[in-house]
Amino acid sequence: MEIIPRLHRISGMRGANAYLLLGSSLTLVDTGMPDSYETILAYIDSLGLDARSLDRIVITHHHLDHVGSAAALKRRTSARVLAHPDDAVFISGEQAPLPPQSPVMRFLFWLMAPLMPSAEPVSIDLAVRDNEHLDLLGGARVVHVPGHSPGAIALHFPSEGLLICGDAIDHRRGRLGPPPKGFTMDMGQAIASIRRMAELEFDILCPGHGAPLVGGADERVRAMVRGLG
């Protein structure tokens, strides 16, 4: 589905959103679950584009529902994988993902671990850090938004008035809020990151889950932040 010219939300994804950015080359932001790569490749084909020419995959953070198809896509395309160094160690499999902070979730994770699918490790080709400029759409700036995970990033596009935020801001069931507590490493840090994003200007918010918020999105995020006290 086209959100604005040159920005698509891949249709038919299971779990998390993936966004396709068109330009002189193709860029994907997040990759869904391990079985999502076929949906992504078919979507690119449906636009009449050559999926093999996918040039970059930006990972907002290391969680399975965002990084799941990165390795499969990297094999099938010419894409380089970009992520923040603080999450790169988990994405490349150098370090096991950290268990969640909440003791209850920690126990559940331990219980569920043998049943959970794991993401195939993928090496990071390019580390991206806070404030870095990326040549995407009219120009993007990387915003490091730690909390949900140590190396979570958002992408801010000032000329499009757009923020792609991964799971740093939650927009499920039509409500804006902080990321889910049970899956968030450091809630205090996550809220500080939301406050930082609330200072940016963006009309459109593209979250990791739920529908994009189109029109006055920054005002809605500021209202949510005021509600946090």
The rounded radius of gyration (Å) of the Cα atoms in the chain is 16
Site string for Zn ion, 92-131 (x = CB under 5 A): ----------------------------------------
Q: Which of 7, 16, 54, 194 binds Zn ion (CB under 5 A)?
A: 16
180 vs 216 by CB, closer to Zn ion: 180
27 vs 184 by CB, closer to Zn ion: 184
Q: How far apart are CA 65 and CA 76, in angstroms?
A: 19
Which stretch, 11-19, 42-50, 89-97, 155-163, contacts Zn ion (CB under 5 A)?
11-19
Q: Which of residues 31-90 bind Zn ion (CB under 5 A)?
A: 63, 65
Question: Residue 83 Cβ, how far from Zn ion at the closest point, in Å?
Answer: 13
Question: Residue 150 Cβ, how far from Zn ion at the closest point, in Å?
Answer: 12
- Given a contact cutoff of 8 angstroms between Cβ atoms, the answer to whether 142 and 164 are in contact is no
DSSP character at residue 99:
P
Range list of β-strands (E), the chain:
2-4, 7-9, 19-21, 26-29, 54-58, 80-83, 126-127, 133-134, 140-144, 153-157, 162-166, 170-172, 175-177, 204-207, 213-214
SS3 category, 74:
helix
Read off the amino acid at residue 132.
E
Binding residues with Zn ion: total (CB under 5 A)? 5
**Closest by alpha carbon to 205, among 143, 145, 163, 172?**
163
Q: How far apart are CA 113 and CA 59, in angstroms?
A: 23
- Given a contact cutoff of 8 angstroms between Cβ atoms, the answer to whether 18 and 31 are in contact is yes
Question: Residue 149 Cβ, how far from Zn ion at the closest point, in Å?
Answer: 7
Which stretch, 70-78, 113-121, 155-163, 205-213, contacts Zn ion (CB under 5 A)?
205-213
Site string for Zn ion, 167-196 (x = CB under 5 A): x-----------------------------
51 vs 68 by CB, closer to Zn ion: 68
Backbone φ and ψ of 205, nearest 5°:
-115, 125
56 vs 61 by CB, closer to Zn ion: 61
Q: Which of residues 151-170 bind Zn ion (CB under 5 A)?
A: 167
49 vs 211 by CB, closer to Zn ion: 211
65 vs 87 by CB, closer to Zn ion: 65
**Residue ranges binding Zn ion (CB under 5 A):** 16, 63, 65, 167, 208
